[in-house]
Amino acid sequence: MRLLVTGGCGFIGTNFIYQVLEAHPDWSVVNLDKLTYAGNRANLLPLEEANEASGGRYTFVQGDIADAKLVPALLAEHKVDAVVNFAAESHVDRSITDPAPFVTTNVLGAQNLLWSARTAGVERFVHISTDEVYGTLAPDESAFTEKTPLAPNSPYSASKASADLLCRAFFKTYAYPVVVTRCSNNYGPWQFPEKLIPLMAKLARAGQPLPVYGDGLHVRDWIHVSDHCRGVELALTKGRPGAVYNFGGNAELPNIDVVRAILAAMDRPETLVRHVKDRPGHDRRYAMDFTLAREELGFEPLVDFDRGIRDTLAWYEANQPWMESIIDGSYRDGSYRDFMDTWYSERT
């Protein structure tokens, strides 16, 4: 199978590319990534080097999914069989500061991919979404199912919900074989350190205060990125056209408990925790019912949180040069460092 994977230099895309190329020796991947602040080409340099040495199965192209000339050209040149769309602006805090890039990439970019893939006759399209499109749950409410109404509460989640509805429209209007996946909070290797787990690990390692929004009792369902990537692969190979599939990790935890687990694993005191002003529109709880994915795809999370968090922290510790290049901005132009310096100073 010849895949166009978009956003493959990001956290989940990087893991997905490694995972599918290892599992499927006859598959090839074209990775289209704009290389915004969260896209790191170095994540996949071993594949580029292997490709040069052996005429292998991985190709990197820097570009924008909203480019109406580039995307059709890539689909035609590489005779793509399927598109897997990970490309997205994904940081909620950034969407609150400036929603415009989220609409441009997450909505208009998705529309361009869908239109280009359908026009080119690409046989399969998997769009990666998020549990945040469902809004928020009360403590005693049942977990989100695929039939839960969409009720996004941030500019980020609204942009993702818009793309989901475009996918539905392409299936209903054109009978285009689109599959949408919605997943809970991911963690694992190569996660950009503006997200909770790598950020708190970075601060704990340095002995700095760990800012936790509000009372810290916002609940998330945590899934290891390897489980999510396996779910996406199942959706690609077995998913029913027009279907939406939820993926979760069976690990609902308040944010403060996740932070405490990080501190305990790193032998740091809980006195480093600093409760800070909550962000606007902060959803209280997410929980995913993935019964449909279990029944139709055979999906089941394999990595429990206790093991997963230990492995993740060990990966960050063993890959400090990678982490430091992200923190100091040397892998890019410093834009990440500037944003995080401002974010951190406002909350500590």
Question: Which residues are marked as active site?
Answer: 131-132, 156
Query: If residue 28 lies in a helix (H) or strand (E), which one and from where to where?
Result: strand 28-33
Going by their DSSP bridges, the two strands 244-247 and 178-183 should be labelled as: parallel
The distance of Cα 242 from the centroid of its chain, to the nearest Å, equals: 21
H or E stretch including 221?
Answer: strand 219-224
Contact 21, 48 (CB under 8 A): no
Instruction: Please give the torsion angle defined by the CA atoms of residues 162, 101, 6 and 290, in that order, rounded to the nearest 10 degrees.
Output: -40
Residue given tokens 């979404």 in the structure block? 129
Distance of CA 137 to the CA centre of its chain: 21
Cα(281)–Cα(135) distance, integer angstroms? 10
What Cα–Cα distance (Å) separates residue 113 from each residue in 106, 126, 277?
Answer: 11, 11, 38
Nearest to 29 by CA among 238, 9, 190: 9
Q: Which residues does 176 contact at the CB level (< 8 Å), separation at least 6?
A: 114, 117, 118, 125, 170
Distances (CA, A) of 344 to 73, 195, 196, 197, 311: 42, 13, 13, 15, 26
Q: How far apart are CA 307 and CA 55, in angstroms?
A: 37
CB 161 within 8 A of CB 152: yes
Which amino acid, one-letter code, is at 247?
F
